[in-house]
Amino acid sequence: MSGYDALPPDLAVERDGPVRTVILNRPAELNAVSKDLHRALAEVWEMLAADSEAKVVVLTGAGKAFSAGGDLGWITSFLDDPAARDASLREGAKIIEEMLRFPLPVVAAVNGPAVGLGCSLAVLSDIVLIGEDAHLADPHVSVGLVAGDGGAAFWPLLTPILRSREYLFTGARIPAATAVELGLASRTVPAADLPGAAKDLALRLAAQPAAALRGTKRVVNSYLAQALAGAVQAGFAAEAETMRSPEHRDRLLALAERAGR
């Protein structure tokens, strides 16, 4: 049994020569991040780094979404389970840390909405191809949370602050073309062409001299890791504080009621 076989079905890894495609695999739930998927996202990067035949990773979602963000049922359970809440924050920090230290290039193929943590996963990738009909969004504030594991921590490294504040403060959708303009995505691709474009780019990267490519990524990400260290730590602390707030409880329960949960 390979290491990938130990992952839950919510996260799939497909092999194609030197390319590993990591698939957020809850299509019926628009790939909303469940407890199992969250754990798998914290663990898969070490597995991929240990895969001696892998040279490039493509990250995408099954079905019509990249990821709709956190699973509402799972997140609502934190309201009365502070231990699980704190564990999720530690795991979220690990996801960011693992992606920043991951040695291989990661190509995000954003095939639909990328919301909340889904948006963070996309933006933390090395190259972000986004379908023309897809969008990004970080709605933390709208549910009473600081975007500690999202845009508040690392968008300022990528985007004009005056432009990104409006999207962070309101949680509004960022259309694909605007995401490219802001520096949150590399280029738009027609939706039907996205899988092929991501594969072609991955194969092109896999053909590059491996040591030079990894070294270049290491240098770039060392800058990002240094710049993000304080912001991410402060962001998670602020997010944890707002998770305990009455306003967050009220907003989340109202959202769950509208969703019929």
Please state, in angstroms and rounded to a whole number, the distance separating the CA atoms of residues 217 and 30.
31
Q: How far apart are the first and last CA of the chain?
A: 38
Residue 40 lies in a domain: yes
Tens of pLDDT, residue by residue over 91-132, are 998 999 999 999 999 999 999 999 999 999 999 999 999 999
Q: What is the CATH number of the domain that holds 171?
A: 3.90.226.10
Structural domain boundaries enclosing 22: 3-194
Q: At CA 137, angle to CA 118 and CA 128, rounded to 5?
A: 60
pLDDT band at residue 66 under the 50/70/90 scheme: very high
Q: Which amino acid is at 47?
A: M
According to DSSP, residue 213 is labeled H
Q: Is residue 22 included in any domain, yes or no?
A: yes
* Tally of structural domains, the chain: 1
- What is the rounded distance in angstroms from the CA atom of residue 158 to the CA atom of residue 144? 24
Tell me whether residue 78 is in a domain: yes
pLDDT digits (tens, 9 = 90+) for 185-201: 999 999 999 999 999 99
Selection from 179, 173, 70 nearest residue 131 by Cα: 179
What sections of 20-101 are H helices per DSSP? 35-49, 72-77, 82-101
pTM: 0.95
Q: How far apart are CA 250 and CA 261, in angstroms?
A: 14
